[in-house]
Amino acid sequence: MYSTPFLDLPPLEAASGTVRLPGSKSISNRVLLLAALAGGTTTVHDLLDSDDTRVMLNALSALGCRIGREGAALRIEGLDGQLRTASAKLFLGNAGTAMRPLTAALALLGGEFELSGVPRMHERPIGDLVDALVQLGCRIDYLGNPGYPPLAIHAMSLDALQVDAPIRVRGDVSSQFLTALLLALPLASASREITIDVVGELISKPYIEITLNLLARFGVVVRRQGWERFVIPAGSRYRSPGDIHVEADASSASYFIALGAIARGDVIRIEGVGADSIQGDIRFVEAARQMGAKVESGPNWLAVSRGAWPLKAIDLDANHIPDAAMTLAVMALYADGPCLLRNIASWRVKETDRIEAMAQELRKLGATVEDGPDFIRVHPLGAASWRAATIRTYDDHRVAMCFSLAAFNPAGMPVRILDPHCVAKTFPDYFETLFSVAQTADVPVICIDGPTASGKGTLAVATAYQLGYHYLDSGSLYRVTGLAMRRAGLEADAAHEAQIAELARQLPLRFIKGQVLLDDEDVSDAIRTEAAGMDASRVSALPAVRAALLALQKSFRRLPGLVADGRDMGTVVFPDARLKVYLTANASQRAERRHKQLISKGIPATLDSLRADLEARDQRDSSRSVAPLKPAPDARLLDNSSQSVEQSVEQVLAWWQEAQPFGSA
């Protein structure tokens, strides 16, 4: 997951490979609530692990529900309609699938509860659901603005519920109000049939099908008359199905279906969701096909590749796929004419006003966009019209995810996504998954070269962290090779050069969270001694070893980018890097830093000898015949003798910004 302030996507060219997607949010949160309400224990497999499911799980725990792990699965002991807690304050983030269903369930279960969320949740309507519950006799107060969370739910007895007449609920703002009643009312239907009538045209109908499907899995079969009337039979009672599997999220699949349709390359194979899905968003496949995508499917997989190009324009009533349709709005940029998405008024009351947000951000890319109360029309962009843009994401996971597709533009423009962390609502590893299948010839690299103890490592790690880039500590490659050499009983001389090179070629090396792992052993300290430094310097002078390590170093250049520190990153390993920094500090400063570092680790050292060693090493490094230590001709020189780490990082980031074409947010 990226928690950086922004994530820069370089221009992407092609995509191919297989992705396994996380579980469906809509199924996960319904299953969690149903398992908690039911009698018996439910083992949930492949549950989504994200912000939305976490708030639901926390709420259920706070209500006294016992939840535990069973391997990779989650075991939930159902409450069988009996709360173990009479009062609780529940924070539900921005999860509509937690806020709405829990409101209805808790209003019926009896107890004093406060339900709140993030500020945007307090702008998302819930009045139609509260009206329906109040009609039943439930007692609910608005703690902020009438019609919106936060809510106070008061205790009442199930026997006092007025369910003789049909319960009326509006269905034209959100289908989640009807879903909430359908999930809660079986708690009150042991001895009587309960009828729910929908007032107004029901939107997002396929989500009701998910609800009915899962109700049936938990033993409650609801009769549906059109989309206007739903009847919960008398004697209905939740029973755990035992084990239940959550299919992958069909809305999340939309980004990868679109990717297959847009990007050059082989097939994108999506695993975990397919033709047998119970999620309405699987019908995004129809829209993608209409636009020209080639899609094959099996029961739980999809395989997508580019068909018609440019994509074909569409005019679509997207009411049945409100979430996935946002992806179509970005695909429209690659179409052969304007695309119209109609009947999407609900976009305005979701994570943000999505019609407004999509229109604003698409315009930043250069597109002409028309929008109205319930539609958006997006005109395609010719190769010359694309602009590099900084995309605001409005704390809306779908804005972040669908705009990543703009990085495939034919103009080769990068795209900056602000607050990439917002994808955590439903797909925390979205960008990692995208990068696992996306390809580009030009992964950005920042090189930070310089003499020993100049602070390159600290600067490079901090820069990589700020940008969400990978990090290569090339100096440690030599140090690890030196260590491996010592452990193998070899000497750093010409006689052993071939053997050491062979060792280097096969180094089982990983950098994880500031640690250097050799074959899973943390060798971070072992390679930081002065002796190991000397060995590193010696092995790095052996040409065959340098050649062996070159390929290994290049392999660190992966999306979304790399910060590499060393001595020859800009001159030899990544000569095409867009930013090269040559970092120096005077020898006495460097000796002092190294002294502090060693003393803090309990390693004895004297300033004078350190300084003498540094000077000797500088001399050896800059006079060696292969890749001597010197700034690349196009490197920026940074002397950090009198700078704090923060100042150096700021300087490097400022240079990096200068190299980027993004406009302001």
Ligand X SMILES: C=C(OP(=O)(O)O)C(=O)O
| Binding residue ranges | 25-26, 30, 96, 124, 174-176, 204, 323, 350, 354, 398, 425, 450-458
> C-alpha dihedral over 33, 34, 40, 45, to 10 degrees?
-80
- Nearer to ligand S3P by C-beta: 334 or 347? 347
- Nearer to ligand X by C-beta: 129 or 461? 129
Which among ligand S3P, ligand X, none contacts residue 398 (Cβ within 5 to 8 A by kind)? ligand X
Between CA 69 and CA 64 the distance in angstroms is 16
Q: List the one residue from 203, 545, 569, 629 that touches ligand S3P (CB under 6 A).
A: 203
Nearest alpha-carbon partner for 164 in 191, 124, 198, 183: 191
Q: List the one residue from 2, 6, 148, 207 that touches ligand S3P (CB under 6 A).
A: 207
Q: Minimal distance in Å, beta carbon 641 to ligand S3P?
A: 55
When asked if residue 52 is in the footprint of ligand S3P (CB under 6 A), the reply is no
Stretch that binds ligand S3P, among 199-207, 260-268, 411-419, 585-593 (CB under 6 A): 199-207
Do 129 and 173 form a contact (C-beta atoms < 8 A)?
A: no
| Count of residues in the chain | 665
Site for ligand S3P in 535-574 (CB under 6 A): none
Alpha carbon 408 to chain centroid distance? 19
Stretch that binds ligand X, among 90-98, 434-442, 510-518, 539-547 (CB under 6 A): 90-98
Q: List the one residue from 323, 371, 449, 473 that touches ligand S3P (CB under 6 A).
A: 323
Between CA 457 and CA 249 the distance in angstroms is 40
When asked if residue 128 is in the footprint of ligand X (CB under 6 A), the reply is no
Which among ligand X, ligand S3P, none contacts residue 426 (Cβ within 5 to 8 A by kind)? ligand X
Q: Minimal distance in Å, beta carbon 97 to ligand S3P?
A: 5
Which among ligand X, ligand S3P, none contacts residue 454 (Cβ within 5 to 8 A by kind)? none
Nearest alpha-carbon partner for 179 in 160, 153, 205: 205
Site for ligand X in 412-431 (CB under 6 A): 426
When asked if residue 175 is in the footprint of ligand S3P (CB under 6 A), the reply is yes
Q: List the one residue from 28, 97, 409, 440 that touches ligand X (CB under 6 A).
A: 97
When asked if residue 319 is in the footprint of ligand X (CB under 6 A), the reply is no
- Nearer to ligand X by C-beta: 51 or 535? 51
Between CA 258 and CA 245 the distance in angstroms is 26
Question: What is the Cβ-side half-sphere exposure of residue 292, based on CA atoms within 13 angstroms?
Answer: 18
Stretch that binds ligand X, among 93-101, 162-170, 182-190, 304-312 (CB under 6 A): 93-101
Site string for ligand S3P, 66-105 (x = CB under 6 A): ------------------------------xx--------
Between CA 260 and CA 240 the distance in angstroms is 38
Q: List the one residue from 398, 479, 580, 617 that touches ligand X (CB under 6 A).
A: 398
Q: Where are the beta strands (DSSP E) in 477-541?
A: 509-512, 515-518, 521-522
Alpha helices in 319-353 (DSSP H): 325-331
Q: List the one residue from 11, 23, 96, 468 that touches ligand X (CB under 6 A).
A: 96
When asked if residue 322 is in the footprint of ligand S3P (CB under 6 A), the reply is yes
Task: Measure CA of the first residue to CA of the last residue in the chain; give whole Å.
Answer: 22
Which among ligand X, ligand S3P, none contacts residue 481 (Cβ within 5 to 8 A by kind)? none
323 is catalytic: yes
The binding site for 3-phosphoshikimate comprises 25-26, 30, 174-176, 204, 323, 350
* Distant-in-sequence, close-in-space partners of 533: CB < 8 Å, separation ≥ 6: 452, 479, 617
When asked if residue 51 is in the footprint of ligand S3P (CB under 6 A), the reply is no
Backbone angles phi, psi at 304, to 5 degrees: -125, 135
Between CA 403 and CA 358 the distance in angstroms is 9
Number of residues located near ligand S3P, criterion CB under 6 A: 13
470-473 sheet: strands from edge to edge: 470-473, 562-566, 445-449, 579-584, 636-639
When asked if residue 346 is in the footprint of ligand S3P (CB under 6 A), the reply is yes
212: tokens are 């009915």
Q: Name the helix (H) or strand (E) containing 638.
A: strand 636-639
Q: Which residues pair with 582 in a beta bridge?
A: 449, 637
Q: Minimal distance in Å, beta carbon 147 to ligand X?
A: 16
* Distant-in-sequence, close-in-space partners of 57: CB < 8 Å, separation ≥ 6: 32, 67
Site for ligand S3P in 140-169 (CB under 6 A): none
Q: List the one residue from 77, 128, 323, 361 that touches ligand X (CB under 6 A).
A: 323
194-199 sheet: strands from edge to edge: 167-170, 194-199, 229-232, 223-225
- Nearer to ligand X by C-beta: 323 or 449? 323
Do 464 and 470 form a contact (C-beta atoms < 8 A)?
A: yes
- Nearer to ligand S3P by C-beta: 346 or 553? 346
Residue of this chain nearest to ligand X (CB atom): 96
Q: List the one residue from 306, 350, 456, 479 that touches ligand X (CB under 6 A).
A: 350
DSSP letter string, 139-177: EEEESSSTTSS-EEEE---GGG---SSPEEEE-SS-THH
Exactly one of 46, 52, 323, 613 is catalytic; name it: 323
Binding residues vs ligand X (CB under 6 A): 94-97, 323, 350-351, 398, 426
Binding residues vs ligand S3P (CB under 6 A): 26, 96-97, 174-176, 179, 203-204, 207, 322-323, 346
Query: Which of the residues are catalytic?
Result: 323
